[in-house]
Amino acid sequence: MAVPTDIDWDWARRTGGVLSDGQRRALGLELARTIPKFGGAQIKRALGRRGIGRLEFAGLRLPDSKLARAAENEARECLSTAILGHSYRSYFFGRVLADIDGVRYDDELVYVSCLLHDLHLEHPTPGRCFAVVGGEHAAEFAAREGADPDRAAAIGAAIAAHITPGVANDLGDPGGFVSAGASVDVIGARFGELDRAWVAELLERHPREDCKKHLIAAFTAEGKAVPTGRTKLLNDRGFLQLVRIAPFSE
């Protein structure tokens, strides 16, 4: 099924990420369809099946625009060490998956969005989703750094969307790119498509720093702060257990 079309940037800013009963049912059905796939992925990993997805770091050029450099500074100033590493890994995982899927993406936009997607994850706002607050923060930041209004809004929208179940199916959408990349790092989604040696090299460059512990604490607090939001729905459907069994040693 497709992500409900009414869960968008306008909805996020208007409601703060509070789901209606209909939205909760629709997203619950999406989770019921997708979560069992992770069991199959675990079996494939246990059988030793290896993926080939990788990105050569030698000579790799990252976005180097004024906005990209400012986003790097903002991320370093606002994020804990564990979540900063997660943000960089989300970008690299997203790039590899986008290449596997053969989709084009706006590199500066997804880079900035990945770096800033968890600005408020460890600082919950009662009644207002961390992804929405973070998206608003990032959009305002991008506008201050000279991004035009549409581009600033696209960054905010991508961040607000990244925790919506099902959005990761389309990496051509910036929110889908962020979601897919983050999902590898958080729950091991599509991990089996990646080259193990390349993942090990990425983890050397951006160590996890007890990332699971930070994520579980943050998502638990977020679920309590926004009991009618997407994170609480995810937690109720087994998301925290998926974080615990993700294929990364801490």
Domain boundaries, the chain: 9-244
pLDDT in tens, 161-187: 999 999 999 999 999 999 999 999 999
pLDDT in tens, 112-143: 999 999 999 999 999 999 999 999 999 999 99
Q: What is the DSSP string of 131-188?
A: HHHHHHHHHHHHHHTT--HHHHHHHHHHHHHTTSTTGGG-TTSHHHHHHHHHHHHHH-
Q: Which two tokens stand for residue 115?
A: 């770096």
**Among residues of the chain, what percentage have pLDDT more than 70?**
94
Q: What is the mean pLDDT of residues 213-226?
A: 98
Q: If you average pLDDT over every residue of the chain, what do you get?
A: 94
Closest CA to 15 of 169, 229, 164: 229
pLDDT in tens, 29-71: 999 988 776 655 555 555 566 799 999 999 999 999 999 999 9
Residue 220's contacts (CB-CB under 8 Å, 6 or more residues apart) are 235, 240
Strand partners, 194: 53
The 10 Å Cβ neighbour count of residue 2 is 10
Is the whole model's pTM more than 0.85, yes or no? Answer: yes
Is residue 2 very low, low, confident or very high in pLDDT (cuts 50, 70, 90)?
Answer: low
